[in-house]
């Protein structure tokens, strides 16, 4: 199981992925708020698992868009 936290912003989002031992599965990273950023996120998730049931994703937005 992986826990994905995404801090969303207007231009880029910060992503943190933890495993079920509460350790970083990958070094935290940021992605742009566009199709290339989405592809990067999906690529990184696929490197961990191809089963979507292996992920719990939470999104946090502190600003107004």
Tell me, yes or no, whether 41 lies in a domain: yes
Domain count along the chain = 1
Kindly report the CATH number assigned to the domain that includes residue 25: 3.30.420.40
Tell me, yes or no, whether 64 lies in a domain: no
Three-class SS state of 65: coil
By the 8 A CB rule, do 28 and 16 touch?
A: yes
Alpha-carbon distance of 40 to 38, in angstroms, equals 5
- 55 burial (CB, 10 Å; 0-12 / 13-18 / 19+) is middle
Q: Determine what percent of the chain falls in helix, strand and coil, rounding each to the nearest 5.
A: 25, 40, 35
Element housing 2 (H / E): strand 2-7
Note down the domain range covering 6. 2-59
Query: 9-60: per-residue pLDDT in tens?
Result: 989 999 999 999 999 999 999 999 999 999 999 999 999 999 999 999 999 9
| pTM of the predicted model as reported, rounded to 2 decimal places | 0.88
Tell me, yes or no, whether 65 lies in a domain: no
Tell me, yes or no, whether 18 lies in a domain: yes
């Amino acid at each position: 199981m992986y826990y994905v936290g995404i801090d969303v912003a207007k231009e880029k989002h910060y992503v943190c992925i933890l495993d079920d031992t509460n350790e970083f599965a990958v070094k935290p990273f940021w992605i742009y708020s566009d199709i290339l950023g989405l592809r990067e996120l999906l690529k990184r998730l696929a490197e961990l698992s191809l089963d979507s049931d292996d992920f719990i994703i939470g999104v946090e937005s502190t600003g107004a868009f």
